[in-house]
Amino acid sequence: MPKLTDQECRDFLAERGHLARIATISASGAPSVVPVWFIFENGKVLITPRKHSLFLANVRRDPRVAVTIDEEAGSYRKVLFEGKANILFEVGQDRQWDDVYRRIACRYVDEASADYYLTETKDQPRALIGIDSAKAKITTWRMPTANEPYSGIWARRYYDAGTKMASTASQATGTNLKVR
**CATH label of the domain that carries residue 104:** 2.30.110.10
Q: Which value, to the nearest 10 degrees, does the dihedral of the CA atoms of residues 127, 42, 143, 23 take?
A: -20
How many domains does the chain fold into?
2
pLDDT for 84-130, tens place per residue? 999 999 999 999 999 999 999 999 999 999 999 999 999 999 999 99
In a domain, 1, yes or no: no
Report pTM: 0.86
Residues 44, 111: one domain? yes
Radius of gyration for the chain, computed over Cα atoms and rounded to the nearest angstrom: 20
* Judgement on whether residues 90 and 11 belong to the same structural domain of the protein: yes
Residue type (1 letter), 174? G
Kindly give the parts of the chain with pLDDT less than 70: 1, 149-152, 169-180
Q: Mark whether 159 and 137 lie in a shared domain.
A: no
Closest CA to 58 of 27, 22, 33: 27
In terms of Cβ atoms closer than 10 Å to its own Cβ (0-12, 13-18, 19+), residue 128 is: buried
